[in-house]
Chain A
Amino acid sequence: MATIHDEIDNYLAADLHDELSEEERSALHMHLVECATCRRAHQENKIMNKILEEKFAAEKPDTAFEQRMLAGFRNRIPQRGAGVAKFIVDLLRLRSAQITAVAAVLLALVQVGRMITGEGATSPRHRKTFELAQAPVTRDQEYETRSAEYKAALAELENLNKQVDAPALSSDAKKEKINERDEKIADVKNRERELQAFASAKVAPTKMPQGGSAPEDASPTNERTIVAGLNIPTAEEVGQNPADTYRRDEVTRLGVRAPTDRIQRIPSAQGSTAPETGNEPLAVMAAPASKTSPTVPAALANRKLIRNASVDLEIVSFDDAVQKITAFTNEERGYVATTSSEKQENGKLKGEIVVKVLPENLDRFLQKIRRLGELKNQTLGTEDITKAYFDSESRLKNARVMEQRLIDMLKKKSDDINDLLQVEKELGRVREEIEKMQGDLKFWDSQVQFATVTISLAEKDMEEAAKFLLKERAQLALYSPEVEKVYNDIKALASLKVQITNAQLDRDSSGRVSARISMLIVPEESDGVIGKVKAMGRVENFQMQTERVAQGGEGMSENAKTKRDKVELNITISRDEQEQAFQQTNLRIRTSSVDEKAKGLRSLAEKQSGRVRSSSFSRDPDGREFANVTLRVPMKNYSALMQSLDSLGKVENVSVQRQDRTGAQIDEANAPADLSIQVYSQGNIVSSNAGLFATLRRTIAQSAAAIMWSLRMIGVAIAFLAPWVMALVAVIWVTRRIVRARRQK
Chain B
Amino acid sequence: MMDANDREVYRAAIHGDRDAFEMIIRTNSRALFAIAYGILQNREEAEDAVQDALVKAWKSRWRVRDPEKFPAWLSMIARHRARDVFRKRRTVPLSEKMIEQIEPETADTSGLDRQLHSALAALPELHRSALALRYFEELDYQSIEKLLGLSNGALRGILGRGLASMRKQLKPALASLE
Q: Do A and B bind each other?
A: yes
Residues of A within 8 A of B (CB): 7, 9-14, 16-17, 19, 41, 43-45, 47-49, 51-53, 55-57, 59-61, 65-66, 68-70, 72-74, 76-77, 79, 86, 90, 93-94, 742-745
User: Which chain B residues border A77 with CB–CB below 8 Å?
Assistant: 55, 58-59
Given contacts A65-B47, A73-B58, contact A48 B18 (CB under 8 A): no
Those 8 A-B pairs whose CB atoms lie nearest each other, nearest first: A10-B160, A56-B135, A9-B164, A9-B160, A13-B160, A69-B29, A13-B159, A72-B51
Q: Which residue of A lies closest to B140 (CB)?
A: A19
Distance A61 CA – B163 CA, assembled complex (angstroms):
23
Interfacial residues of chain B within 1-29, with CB under 8 A of chain A in the complex = 15-16, 18, 22, 25-26, 29
Distance A17 CA – B157 CA, assembled complex (angstroms):
13
B70 at the interface (CB under 8 A from A): no
User: Which chain A residues border B51 with CB–CB below 8 Å?
Assistant: 69, 72-73, 76
User: Which chain A residues border B162 with CB–CB below 8 Å?
Assistant: 13
Q: Once the chains bind, are A93 and B116 in contact (CB under 8 Å)? A: no
Distance A14 CA – B161 CA, assembled complex (angstroms):
11
B39 at the interface (CB under 8 A from A): no
User: Which chain B residues border A57 with CB–CB below 8 Å?
Assistant: 135
| Residue interface bits B102-135, CB-to-A below 8 A is 1, else 0 | 0000000000110010000000000000011011
User: Which chain B residues border A14 with CB–CB below 8 Å?
Assistant: 141, 156, 159-160
Within the complex, the shortest CB–CB distance from B149 to chain A, in Å, comes to 19
User: Which chain A residues border B89 with CB–CB below 8 Å?
Assistant: none
Within the complex, the shortest CB–CB distance from B170 to chain A, in Å, comes to 7
Q: Once the chains bind, are A744 and B166 in contact (CB under 8 Å)? A: no
Given contacts A44-B167, A69-B25, A70-B22, contact A10 B156 (CB under 8 A): yes
Q: Once the chains bind, are B160 and A7 in contact (CB under 8 Å)? A: yes
Q: Once the chains bind, are B55 and A69 in contact (CB under 8 Å)? A: no
Q: Once the chains bind, are A90 and B16 in contact (CB under 8 Å)? A: yes
Extra inter-chain contacts (10) besides given A47-B177, A61-B47, A66-B30, CB under 8 Å: A9-B161, A12-B160, A16-B163, A19-B140, A48-B163, A56-B132, A59-B37, A69-B25, A69-B50, A93-B16
Within the complex, the shortest CB–CB distance from A545 to chain B, in Å, comes to 88
B146 at the interface (CB under 8 A from A): no
User: Which chain B residues border A47 with CB–CB below 8 Å?
Assistant: 174, 177-178
Q: Which residue of A lies closest to B139 (CB)?
A: A17
Q: Once the chains bind, are A90 and B15 in contact (CB under 8 Å)? A: yes
Of the residues B29, B132, B178, contact of A43 by C-beta under 8 Å: B178
Q: Once the chains bind, are A19 and B141 in contact (CB under 8 Å)? A: yes
Could you name 20 residue pairs across A and B whose Cβ atoms are closer than 8 Å? A10-B161, A13-B156, A17-B159, A44-B174, A48-B170, A49-B163, A51-B177, A53-B135, A56-B135, A61-B136, A65-B29, A65-B30, A66-B26, A69-B50, A73-B55, A73-B58, A76-B55, A77-B58, A743-B60, A743-B62
Q: Which residue of A lies closest to B168 (CB)?
A: A44
User: Which chain B residues border A79 with CB–CB below 8 Å?
Assistant: 18
Within the complex, the shortest CB–CB distance from B138 to chain A, in Å, comes to 9
Size of B's binding interface in residues, CB under 8 A? 45
Distance A66 CA – B140 CA, assembled complex (angstroms):
21
Q: Once the chains bind, are B163 and A13 in contact (CB under 8 Å)? A: yes
Within the complex, the shortest CB–CB distance from B63 to chain A, in Å, comes to 8
Within the complex, the shortest CB–CB distance from A475 to chain B, in Å, comes to 89
Given contacts A51-B112, A59-B37, contact A93 B62 (CB under 8 A): yes
User: Which chain A residues border B178 with CB–CB below 8 Å?
Assistant: 43, 47
B80 at the interface (CB under 8 A from A): no
Distance A17 CA – B22 CA, assembled complex (angstroms):
31
Within the complex, the shortest CB–CB distance from B45 to chain A, in Å, comes to 12
User: Which chain A residues border B157 with CB–CB below 8 Å?
Assistant: 10
Main secondary structure of the interface of A (DSSP, over half): helix
User: Which chain B residues border A68 with CB–CB below 8 Å?
Assistant: 47
The residue among A57, A73, A743, A744 with the most chain B CB atoms within 10 A of its own CB is A73
B77 at the interface (CB under 8 A from A): no
User: Which chain B residues border A86 with CB–CB below 8 Å?
Assistant: 16
Distance A7 CA – B112 CA, assembled complex (angstroms):
28
Within the complex, the shortest CB–CB distance from A621 to chain B, in Å, comes to 75
Within the complex, the shortest CB–CB distance from A3 to chain B, in Å, comes to 15
Q: Once the chains bind, are A65 and B33 in contact (CB under 8 Å)? A: yes
Distance A488 CA – B59 CA, assembled complex (angstroms):
104
Distance A48 CA – B123 CA, assembled complex (angstroms):
15
Distance A2 CA – B176 CA, assembled complex (angstroms):
33
Within the complex, the shortest CB–CB distance from B133 to chain A, in Å, comes to 10
Q: Once the chains bind, are B62 and A56 in contact (CB under 8 Å)? A: no
Within the complex, the shortest CB–CB distance from B34 to chain A, in Å, comes to 9
Distance A44 CA – B167 CA, assembled complex (angstroms):
7
B54 at the interface (CB under 8 A from A): yes
User: Which chain B residues border A56 with CB–CB below 8 Å?
Assistant: 131-132, 135-136
Q: Once the chains bind, are B141 and A744 in contact (CB under 8 Å)? A: no
Distance A52 CA – B120 CA, assembled complex (angstroms):
10
Given contacts A51-B112, A59-B37, A93-B15, contact A17 B134 (CB under 8 A): yes
Given contacts A10-B157, A19-B141, contact A55 B113 (CB under 8 A): yes
Given contacts A68-B47, A73-B22, A73-B54, contact A60 B160 (CB under 8 A): no
Of the residues A11, A44, A70, contact of B160 by C-beta under 8 Å: A11
The residue among B25, B141, B163, B174 with the most chain A CB atoms within 10 A of its own CB is B163
User: Which chain B residues border A65 with CB–CB below 8 Å?
Assistant: 29-30, 33, 47
Given contacts A10-B156, A59-B43, contact A45 B55 (CB under 8 A): no
Distance A74 CA – B55 CA, assembled complex (angstroms):
9
Given contacts A13-B160, A44-B167, contact A744 B174 (CB under 8 A): no
User: Which chain A residues border B60 with CB–CB below 8 Å?
Assistant: 743
Q: Which residue of A lies closest to B17 (CB)?
A: A90
User: Which chain B residues border A44 with CB–CB below 8 Å?
Assistant: 167, 171, 174
Distance A73 CA – B28 CA, assembled complex (angstroms):
14
Q: Which residue of A lies closest to B160 (CB)?
A: A10
User: Which chain A residues border B134 with CB–CB below 8 Å?
Assistant: 17
Q: Once the chains bind, are B59 and A745 in contact (CB under 8 Å)? A: yes
User: Which chain B residues border A69 with CB–CB below 8 Å?
Assistant: 25, 29, 47, 50-51, 54
Distance A65 CA – B32 CA, assembled complex (angstroms):
12
Q: Which residue of A lies closest to B42 (CB)?
A: A59
Within the complex, the shortest CB–CB distance from B166 to chain A, in Å, comes to 6
User: Which chain A residues border B25 with CB–CB below 8 Å?
Assistant: 66, 69-70, 73
Q: Which residue of B lies closest to A62 (CB)?
A: B43
Q: Which residue of A lies closest to B57 (CB)?
A: A73
Q: Which residue of A lies closest to B177 (CB)?
A: A47
Distance A744 CA – B136 CA, assembled complex (angstroms):
33
Q: Once the chains bind, are A48 and B166 in contact (CB under 8 Å)? A: yes
Q: Which residue of A lies closest to B113 (CB)?
A: A55
User: Which chain B residues border A49 with CB–CB below 8 Å?
Assistant: 163
User: Which chain B residues border A60 with CB–CB below 8 Å?
Assistant: 136
Q: Once the chains bind, are B159 and A744 in contact (CB under 8 Å)? A: no
Within the complex, the shortest CB–CB distance from B71 to chain A, in Å, comes to 16
Distance A534 CA – B116 CA, assembled complex (angstroms):
131
Q: Once the chains bind, are A55 and B116 in contact (CB under 8 Å)? A: yes
Q: Once the chains bind, are A19 and B163 in contact (CB under 8 Å)? A: no
Q: Which residue of B lies closest to A73 (CB)?
A: B54
Within the complex, the shortest CB–CB distance from A61 to chain B, in Å, comes to 6
Distance A314 CA – B169 CA, assembled complex (angstroms):
130
Of the residues A10, A52, A74, A76, contact of B131 by C-beta under 8 Å: A52
Q: Which residue of B lies closest to A86 (CB)?
A: B16
Q: Which residue of A lies closest to B18 (CB)?
A: A79
User: Which chain B residues border A74 with CB–CB below 8 Å?
Assistant: 22
User: Which chain B residues border A11 with CB–CB below 8 Å?
Assistant: 160
Distance A16 CA – B156 CA, assembled complex (angstroms):
11
Within the complex, the shortest CB–CB distance from B86 to chain A, in Å, comes to 17
Q: Which residue of B lies closest to A59 (CB)?
A: B43
Distance A90 CA – B15 CA, assembled complex (angstroms):
7
Q: Which residue of B lies closest to A41 (CB)?
A: B167
Q: Which residue of A lies closest to B27 (CB)?
A: A66
User: Which chain B residues border A72 with CB–CB below 8 Å?
Assistant: 51, 54
Within the complex, the shortest CB–CB distance from B125 to chain A, in Å, comes to 16
